[in-house]
């Protein structure tokens, strides 16, 4: 059975594979949507060069409460992945991309992450972008290209 702990350990193994070829100062951790919690977890445990989160959530619990508000979500879900809690333990710069029209992970949920960001970090709101088309916007490509230099 896949648990949150097993998922996190598997992700750390993937990071270890990257470390076999690259120094930490060369590794950029990237997560999109549900993968942003795992990416933030890795970055809170390892000293990567940069963390890029595309359309992230503050926690799985808070996100699911939006969709399943009539149910005791906290007791029902097995994966918490509290991205917001991981941010305080990340030393690398963080860049967050969010679409202004994201209907999957609403801006109100993503904006909760601002409290965990440092002055060196950046939250970029792509006007007109939704959850699945953010990569169609020029601002996204310009910023991503500059981060990957």
Exposure string of 75-89, with b = 16+ CB inside 10 Å and e = fewer, is eebebebbbbbbbee
Domain enclosing residue 61, as ranges: 4-8+27-102+109-147
Q: 69: how many CB neighbours lie within 10 A of its CB?
A: 8
Residue 22 included in any domain: no
Count structural domains, the chain: 1
d(CA 142, CA 24): 24
pLDDT at 113: 93
* pLDDT at residue 73, rounded to an integer: 55
18 belongs to a structural domain: no
Q: What is the pLDDT of residue 74?
A: 59
The answer as to whether 90 is a domain residue is yes
Q: Which of 80, 83, 88, 77 is nearest to 57 (CA)?
A: 83
At 49-64, the pLDDT tens digits run: 999 999 999 887 777 6
Asked if the structure places residue 16 within a domain, the reply is: no
**Mean pLDDT in the chain?**
90
Q: Which pLDDT score is estimated for 19? A: 97
In a domain? residue 140:
yes
In a domain, 17, yes or no: no
Residue 15 belongs to some domain of the structure: no
> What whole-number distance in Å separates Cα of residue 7 and Cα of residue 14?
11
Q: Is residue 86 part of a domain?
A: yes
Span 28-85, pLDDT tens digits: 999 999 899 999 999 999 999 999 999 999 887 777 666 666 556 555 566 678 999 9
Neighbours of 65 (CB within 10 A): 16
Q: What is the CATH number of the domain that holds 122?
A: 3.40.50.1820
Specify the DSSP class assigned to residue 113. G
Residue labelled with tokens 């679409």: 99
């Amino acid at each position: 059975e896949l648990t949150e702990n097993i998922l996190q350990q598997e992700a750390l193994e993937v990071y270890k594979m990257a470390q076999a070829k690259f120094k930490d100062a060369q590794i950029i951790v990237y997560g999109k949507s549900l993968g942003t919690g795992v990416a933030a977890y890795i970055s809170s445990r390892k000293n990567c060069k940069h963390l890029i989160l595309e359309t992230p959530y503050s926690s799985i619990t808070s996100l699911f409460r939006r969709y399943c508000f009539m149910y005791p979500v906290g007791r029902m879900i097995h994966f918490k992945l509290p991205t917001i809690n991981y941010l305080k333990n990340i030393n690398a710069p963080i860049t967050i991309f969010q679409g202004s029209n994201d209907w999957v992970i609403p801006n109100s949920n993503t904006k909760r992450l601002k409290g965990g960001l440092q002055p060196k970090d950046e939250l970029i709101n792509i006007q007109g972008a939704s959850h699945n088309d953010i990569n169609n916007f020029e601002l996204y490509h310009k910023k991503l290209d500059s981060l990957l230099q």
